[in-house]
Amino acid sequence: MTARESTIEQLEIAAAAALDKGADDLVALDVSEPLPFVDIFLIATGRSERNVVAVAGEIEDKMIEAGHKTLRREGRSEGRWILLDFGDLVVHVFHEEERLYYSLERLWKDCPVVPIAVAASAPTE
């Protein structure tokens, strides 16, 4: 099983939003084989608690604008690891320390990486 095209489109929206808010080290993993109820994990890093919250908020806003409902949200109050569940796409926005500690890439190392084809928007003056 591989990630569906519709989920890849969601990934591009979420990744663009994350990059626009300064997220670093974006990685998308196709977890559809071991997790039949999820296609892709998007993992991103924020530089501070405030940045983690801003990145997650921007992702959620852009996904909602595109018609994708947030099914579950966890961790917003702490700003260290925020999980946004959009069904087929689950987004993990980590503070740098938590990303290293939990190391989801290592945990899901057998899952293929999904290329992310977006770049951050140019800053407006």
Measured CA to CA, the distance from residue 53 to residue 75 in angstroms comes to 9
pLDDT (tens digit, 9 = 90+) per residue, 105-117? 999 999 999 999 8
Looking at residues 75-101, what average pLDDT do you find?
94
Domain boundaries, the chain: 5-107
Global pTM value: 0.90
Q: Are 66 and 75 in contact (CB under 8 A)?
A: no
Tell which CATH classification among 1.10.1740.10, 3.90.1410.10, 3.40.50.620, 3.30.460.10 matches the domain 5-107: 3.30.460.10
| pLDDT of 3 | 74
Measured CA to CA, the distance from residue 11 to residue 113 in angstroms comes to 12
